[in-house]
Amino acid sequence: AKDNREFPADFLWGGAVAAHQLEGGYQEGGKGLSIADLFTLGDKDHPRTITAKIEDDHYYPNHQAIDFYHRYPEDIKLFAEMGFKCFRTSIAWSRIFPNGDEEEPNEAGLKFYDDLFDECLKYDIQPVVTLSHFEIPLHLVQEYGGWRDRRLIEFFVRFADVCFRRYNNKVKYWMTFNEINNQTNFEAAGHLYTNSGIISQSGEDREKLMYQAAHYELVASAQAVKLGHSIDPKMQIGSMIAMCPIYPLTSKPEDILFTQRAMQTRYWFSDVHANGYYPQWLLNFFDKKNFDLDITTADLAQLKEGTVDYIGFSYYMSFTTEYPGHEDFNEAHDLVANPYVKASEWGWQIDPTGLRYALNWFTDRYHLPLFVVENGLGAVDQLTEDHKVHDDYRIKYMHDHILQMKKAVLDDGVDLMGYTPWGCIDLVSAGTGEMSKRYGFIYVDEDDYGRGSLDRYRKDSFYWYQNVINTNGAEL
Q: What are phi and psi of 349, to 5 degrees?
A: -80, 110
Count CA atoms closer than 13 A to 51's CA, side-chain side.
15
- In the complex, the smallest distance separating the C-beta of residue 432 from ligand P53, rounded to whole angstroms, is 6
With CB under 6 A as the contact rule, the residue among 173, 316, 319, 357 that binds ligand P53 is 316
Contacts of 356 (CB under 8 A, 6+ apart): 404, 405, 407, 408, 412
With CB under 6 A as the contact rule, the residue among 430, 435, 444, 476 that binds ligand P53 is 430
Q: Which is nearer to ligand P53, 41 or 303 (CB)?
A: 41
Distance of CA 187 to CAs 182, 286, 332, 333, Å?
Answer: 11, 18, 6, 9
Q: Which of 374, 385, 446, 475 is catalytic?
A: 374
Whether the Cβ atoms of residue 82 and residue 123 lie closer than 8 Å to each other: no
Q: Which is nearer to ligand P53, 162 or 430 (CB)?
A: 430
Contacts of 31 (CB under 8 A, 6+ apart): 25, 92, 94, 95, 98, 106, 109
Q: Which is nearer to ligand P53, 48 or 458 (CB)?
A: 48
Q: Does residue number 159 form part of the binding site for ligand P53 (CB under 6 A)?
A: no
- In the complex, the smallest distance separating the C-beta of residue 222 from ligand P53, rounded to whole angstroms, is 21
CA 184 to mean position of chain CA atoms: 14
- In the complex, the smallest distance separating the C-beta of residue 281 from ligand P53, rounded to whole angstroms, is 24
Q: Does residue number 426 form part of the binding site for ligand P53 (CB under 6 A)?
A: no
Contacts 24+ apart (CB under 8 A), 382-390: 383/443, 383/445, 383/457, 387/457, 388/457, 388/459, 388/460, 389/443, 389/457, 389/459, 389/460, 389/461, 390/459, 390/460
With CB under 6 A as the contact rule, the residue among 179, 217, 322, 446 that binds ligand P53 is 179
Q: Does residue number 421 form part of the binding site for ligand P53 (CB under 6 A)?
A: no
Q: Does residue number 378 form part of the binding site for ligand P53 (CB under 6 A)?
A: yes
Q: Does residue number 245 form part of the binding site for ligand P53 (CB under 6 A)?
A: no
Residue nearest to ligand P53 (CB): 431
- In the complex, the smallest distance separating the C-beta of residue 251 from ligand P53, rounded to whole angstroms, is 27
Q: Could you tell me which stretch among 91-99, 208-216, 247-255, 424-432 binds ligand P53 (CB under 6 A)?
A: 424-432
To the query of whether residue 345 is one of the catalytic residues in this protein, the response is no
Distance of CA 269 to CAs 282, 314, 359, Å?
Answer: 11, 14, 17
Q: Does residue number 18 form part of the binding site for ligand P53 (CB under 6 A)?
A: yes
Q: Which is nearer to ligand P53, 179 or 309 (CB)?
A: 179
| Sequence letter at residue 102 | E
Q: Could you tell me which stretch among 3-11, 360-368, 429-437, 452-460 binds ligand P53 (CB under 6 A)?
A: 429-437
Q: Which is nearer to ligand P53, 100 or 376 (CB)?
A: 376
Distance of CA 314 to CAs 85, 97, 404, 407, Å?
Answer: 18, 27, 15, 18
Q: Does residue number 314 form part of the binding site for ligand P53 (CB under 6 A)?
A: yes
Binding site for ligand P53 (CB under 6 A): 18, 21, 178-179, 182, 242, 314, 316, 374, 378, 422, 429-432, 437
Catalytic residue numbers, as ranges: 374
